[in-house]
Structure 1
Amino acid sequence: MAPLHPSVRDALAAALALAFPTWCAGCDDPDTALCADCRAALAPPRLIPHRRLGGLDVHSALEFDGVAARVLRAFKEEGRTTLATALAPALAAALGSCGESTAVVPVPSTAAAVRRRGYRPVELLARRAGARPWRLLRVVRASADQRGLTRAARAQNVAGSLEAAPAAAGRRVVLVDDVVTTGATLAEAARALRAAGAQVVAAATVAATPRHGARLSGM
């Protein structure tokens, strides 16, 4: 096949851009899924900080703010699954700070969320980060939206909402989620796994919401 004339190729590219517009998930720049500056903003630091929440060490590579927050929302709520590749290095770095495990276990999505999205965001991130996700947790009770709830209300909202599979018994587990806020969901996941006989080593997330008076990088 003869190559397309440049003018024809440019016209086709322009038509595709009109039919399927693309914009940067981090800053809205046109004609790119993620610009170079926003991609650089997702690079994990050399030292991955951690915080202890609910008796669990949680390692998070990024602060859930600015570019990281926008890209995670686009990945999770807008179906832009290709962004998982750009987010994966941050999760891989956080996982690398957690110590050895025999199973990387994602916090599960509800059945309704899986139907709505058509994919499991945390599992996809784990795979892109080079891990093999184990489905050892399932949602057994629906909980309300956590947004706007106090720390205590969040913990009460998710209490008893998860159950671990018998296959969790005897395994050293690292929990994985996209974002941690108060740690209530991770604490519930750890409780369910420990009840099934697992040893929960730590948790890893792409990002963590900033604490008042402290930046994530300074933890």
Structure 2
Amino acid sequence: MLPVWAIAPLTGTNHGMISAWKDAGRRDLDAFFARAARRAARDIASALGPDIVVVPVPARRRSTRRRGIDLPLLLAESTAAGLIDEGVDARVMAALTVGSGEQRGASARERWRQASSMRAVSHGGASGRALLVDDVVTTGATIAAAARALEVTFLTVSAGFCLASAPAFGARVPGQVM
């Protein structure tokens, strides 16, 4: 199983804030979550080695249009900035695409089925290790599908990183509180 670092558990206030950010158009929270990702990335930098490609787990096109922003890309850019702050040679690469479908409210089985539409679109000639970045990890289906999709590239997924994970999934970033 792919190791995943989460800044916080996906419960209570954390869940409410992330839902408001993702689903209620709270663009005022963009900077808050970007700063949280950057801070937490500094704490995991030493575990990742000297260089890494940061790959956002793609949002569905419909979601990105509705929100007016690519949230996983925002988090990936902030994560890379935090890693760079600690001396890691990190760069963001949007190397994945995903089909249509709605994950919100989907069962675990449906999430696994929908996640199978994930495809690698580009690796830009990059090789080496990759860190997958997503907003939340609930069942692990999406991040696992992203790792499988990258198997056809020259990138090897080392770990995942997210704002929050379901209580039974993901290791917490030490000392982090959103």
TM-score range for the pair, normalised by the shorter chain length: 0.7 to 0.9
SS at match of 1:61: strand
Matched, 1:114 2:60: no
Rg (Cα) greater in structure: 1
- Output the aligned Cα RMSD: 2.7
TM-score (norm 1): 0.63
Query: Whose strand fraction is larger, Structure 1's or Structure 2's?
Result: 2
- The answer as to whether partners of 1:136 and 1:168 remain within 8 angstroms in 2 is no
Provide the aligned length of Structure 1 versus Structure 2.
160
What is the alpha-carbon distance in structure 2 between the residues aligned to residue 64 and residue 153 of structure 1?
Answer: 20
Distance 1:76 1:194 in 2: 29
Where 1:102 maps in the other structure, the secondary structure is: strand
Whether contact under 8 Å (1:136, 1:164) holds in the other structure is yes
Residue of structure 2 in register with 1:211 after alignment: 168
Report what 2:11 is aligned to.
Answer: 65
The answer to whether the aligner puts 1:142 opposite 2:100 as a matched pair is yes
Report SS of the residue matched to 1:195. Answer: coil
The one of 153, 157, 167 equivalent to 1:196 is 153
Normalising by structure 2, what TM-score?
Answer: 0.76
Q: 1:186 to 1:163 in 2, by over 3 A?
A: same
Distance 1:96 1:149, change over 3 A: same
Which whole-Å deviations, capped at 9, do the CAs of 1:162-197 have from their partners, x for residues lacking one?
Answer: 324142652311000010011110011011112212
Instruction: State the structure with bigger RCO (CA 8 A, min sep 6), 1 or 2.
Output: 2
Q: Percent same amino acid among aligned pairs?
A: 32
In the alignment, is the contact (CA less than 8 A) between 1:179 and 1:207 conserved in 2?
yes
Residue aligned with 2:164, SS: strand
User: What residue ranges of structure 2 are gaps of 5+ in the alignment?
Assistant: 83-90, 174-178
